[in-house]
Amino acid sequence: MKILLTAINAKYIHSNLAVYCLKAYAKPYREQIQIAEFTINNYTDDILQAIYKEKPDFIGFSCYIWNIGIIKQLCVELRKLLPETKLWLGGPEVSYDAVKHMEAHKELDGIMTGEGEETFLELLDYYIAGKGEPDSIKGIVYRDKDKVLETPFRPEFDLNSLPFPYDNLEDFKNKIIYYETSRGCPYSCSYCLSSIDKKVRLRDFELVKRDLDLFLSHKIPQVKFVDRTFNCNKSHTLSIWRYIKEQDNGVTNFHFEISADILGEEEFDILSSMREGLVQLEIGVQSTNPDTVKAIERQMKLDKLKLAVDKIHMGRNIHEHLDLIAGLPYEDLNTFKKSFNEVYALKPDQFQLGFLKVLKGSAMHRQSREWGIEYQSIPPYEVLFTRWLSYDDILKLKAVEEMVEIYYNSGQFVSAITYMEHFFLTPFDLYDKLGRYYERKGFNGINHSRLRRYEILLAFMTEVKENEKKPENELNTENDLNSENDLNTEKDLNTENNLNSEKAQTLIKDKKDDINDIGNENNKGNENNTDNENNIGNENNIGNEYNKDNEDNTDNENNIGNENNKGNENNKDTIKEKNNDIAVEIDLEAFRNILVHDLYLRENMKSRPPFAKEYERYKKQFRDFYTNEQKIREYMPQSVMDIQIEQIKPYLHLEHYDLDVMKTAETGITVKEDQCLLYDYLHRGHLNSQARTIPVKLS
């Protein structure tokens, strides 16, 4: 009998842990089991053809909110093409209303509910070895002629009995590997399916060590732990973190989802001593509104969470990913804006603004009417409106989410965004107005180039500055940017078109102390890094959504503005105070310089961007620098001294500025100072992929 376990993942770089666990546990039949992985971006007809060509006798689909629609279509067509093949489903999307699924979809033979390893093995015993009957297999809903029958729920599974799930790790060189050391969660967050199983089961540490050794020896780029609250057991957490630190191969990155507010000094100590890029932490905040946190039964001490995030930042070695959820009970637009600004002030490397999914089986699903939460009737069951948030509000937040994703999470506009923040009352207002600008100009839905995104920012800030000069009654004019080409000519940029904003003459706090800080507090990691030049000495870059540059590079001396420095823990105010403040005007010429700096931090461009100033007067000095090997090597770390200078030069860029771009971005005040920066693309930051930058003195 030929068994085909089929996964349809959200992205190519993802893998499906579930199907690998099923195959690993069904030891007697492993030779008869094949795994087929596709993505939701594949054409359904292509998936259908691929499955049909295998001519399987049994097909098992792993079902989630992102793929259930495709799977339903496939099952209808597969029943026509392979009438004798057994079609079974499993996974969270079908486990909680399995009987309804079976009644609605006559083409299905059955659904495995809950944990599937033992259930799958017993199913194969029945189909292949002829052992037992379906009614003796716990945890299934199956069809017996015209009847749909359900067996008792299967008890919890012993994780220590699960073999290592991956046969050939070489197949995962360009993918994220998912791994678990526990199941269940001690918390009761009403929006989460993990809260159903409150009994936390741990895999024995000796088995975990054996598994980790396999990942490390194969130098897997990234291992993502799917433990729902990884650090809920302190001893288990410390054992694993100590082990991956001791056995660090300089390449592999480990991702953990944690509760930051329960971290203790031992955890902080071990985290602070890890290699830069060894781990990344995902921390769910969801809301800072006390009424909301209470309503969703979330146990979180916000003050401790903030302190923990700041403490981790101080190590400058760990990527932090913070989450918010829009659409929760008691969260209106104003309280969500407050949540946004509070979390933004923590300066995470990634800031995910998500929207409530009302998942079947969750407490939120049962309570949705009580809370007045309306959501989509089909997957992903995303919130449409609530008693506190209208659909118009949701659309506003969708626009903010898009701008955060493009301009914050990409890590490509760090200094520009830092500068722009000075001219808006709060960070939320910045992204809100930028989102409205995109909508007015028809920029949404267009796959803009990276360079184009910089040009759009320049046009946006030009408009903000022009509005600053207008009387209040002239702000809402019909003048517009009529074409994308207008962005390159400043005379066409001076238009308004209803920013609905405060005048961009903005107040900021006294910057006398801050002006000595190098502008490097906001450097972010990049989920969608496209800087793929062939870096010498950087051969272990991970081309995936979490894109961690994991090369073992400790030569970070002289690295200004790109070492993932984080925000000052004492500077958490997101609304600028008006007492003893100084007025700041947008300096468009300074902003152009900042955009150039951001662009060269991430991209070794062969041609100059259109908004960069001419550099004819510096050509001779630049040429003299590039022809002086001794001068170049003065600025290079010891690790490249054996590399020929002609191999190094293509990975360097020299740029002159007539202001200190980093201080200007950080303070919002133009700091005039002649400055030459050397961008070294051989030595990018592990967490943010930015080039190492070094001030250079030219003769």
Length of the chain in terms of residues written:
699
Sign of the dihedral defined by the CA atoms of residues 149, 99, 68, 410, in that order: negative
What's the confidence (pLDDT) of residue 501? Answer: 35
Q: Tell me: cis bond preceding 380? Omega within 30 of 0 counts.
A: yes
Largest CA distance in the chain: 88
| Predicted confidence (pLDDT) per residue in 360-410, tens digit | 999 999 999 999 999 999 999 999 999 999 999 999 999 999 999 999 999
How many Å apart are CA 478 and CA 437, to the nearest integer?
A: 13
- Cβ atoms within 10 Å, residue 313: 22
Q: Are 437 and 463 in contact (CB under 8 A)?
A: yes
Q: Would you state the pLDDT for residue 171? A: 87
What is the C-alpha to C-alpha distance for residues 107 and 72, in angstroms, rounded to an integer?
9
Q: Residue 431: in which H helix or E strand, if any? A: helix 427-441
Token code pair at residue 190 = 């009403």
Rounded CA separation 654/634 (Å): 14
Structure tokens at 109: 């033979």
pLDDT digit string, tens, across residues 21-71: 999 999 999 999 999 999 999 999 999 999 999 999 999 999 999 999 999
Residue of 119, 66, 48 lying closest to 90 (CA atoms): 119
Cα 128 to Cα 1, 115, 122, 124, distances in angstroms: 7, 21, 10, 5
- The answer to whether residues 30 and 121 touch, using CB atoms and an 8 Å cutoff, is no
Number of C-beta neighbours around residue 606 at 10 A: 7
Distance (Å, whole) CA 225 – CA 179? 5
What DSSP assignment string belongs to 588-599? Answer: HHHHHHHHHHHH
Rounded Cα distance, 224 and 255, in Å = 5
DSSP notation for 678-697: EEEEEEE-TTT-PEEEEE--
* CB atoms near residue 669 (< 10 Å): 19
Number of other residues whose CB lies within 10 A of the CB of residue 498: 14
Burial readout 135-158 (b: 16 or more C-beta within 10 A, e: otherwise): eebebbbbbeeeebeebeebeebe
User: Within the chain, how many helices (H) and strands (E) appear?
Assistant: 22, 22
- Sign of the torsion formed by the C-alpha atoms of 592, 596, 599 and 605: positive
Integer Cα distance of 202 and 158 in angstroms: 9
Phi then psi dihedrals of residue 332, to 5 deg: -95, -175
Q: Is 58 helix (H, G, I), strand (E, B) or coil?
A: strand
Q: Which two tokens stand for residue 642?
A: 């054996």
Query: Which tokens in the block code for residue 495?
Result: 């238009």
The pTM for the full model equals 0.83
**At a CB cut-off of 8 Å and minimum separation 6, what does 506 contact?**
422, 423, 424, 425, 576, 583, 584
Give the DSSP H or E segment for 338: helix 333-344
What percentage of the chain's residues is helix, strand, coil (to nearest 5)?
A: 40, 15, 45
Strand-strand pairing, 177-179 and 222-225? parallel
Q: Are 262 and 232 in contact (CB under 8 A)?
A: yes
Rounded-to-integer distance, Cα 653 and Cα 280, Å: 30
Q: Which of 229, 237, 285 is nearest to 258 (CA)?
A: 229
Residues of the chain with pLDDT under 50: 476-583
Burial of 168: CB neighbours in 10 Å, binned 0-12, 13-18, 19+: exposed
Rg (CA), the chain: 28
Yes or no: say if 552 and 252 are a contact pair by the CB < 8 Å rule.
no
State the Cα–Cα distance between residues 326 and 355, nearest whole angstrom.
5
Measured in whole angstroms, the distance separating CA 147 from the mean position of its chain's CA atoms is 45
Burial class (CB in 10 A: 0-12, 13-18, 19+), 609: middle
Got the DSSP string for 508-524? E---TTGGGS-S-TT--
| Phi, psi of 610, rounded to the nearest 5 degrees | -65, -20
* Cα separation, 625 vs 201, whole angstroms: 61
pLDDT at 473 (0 to 100): 56
DSSP SS3 for 53: helix
| Strands (E) located in 422-477 | none
What residues contact 108, with CB distance under 8 A and at least 6 apart? 75, 87, 88, 89, 101, 102, 143
Distance between CA atoms of 22 and 17, rounded to whole angstroms? 9
Tokens for 175, please give them: 């993918």
Question: How far is Cα 452 from Cα 148, in angstroms, rounded to an integer?
Answer: 56
Q: Which of 220, 222, 223, 240 is nearest to 231 (CA)?
A: 240
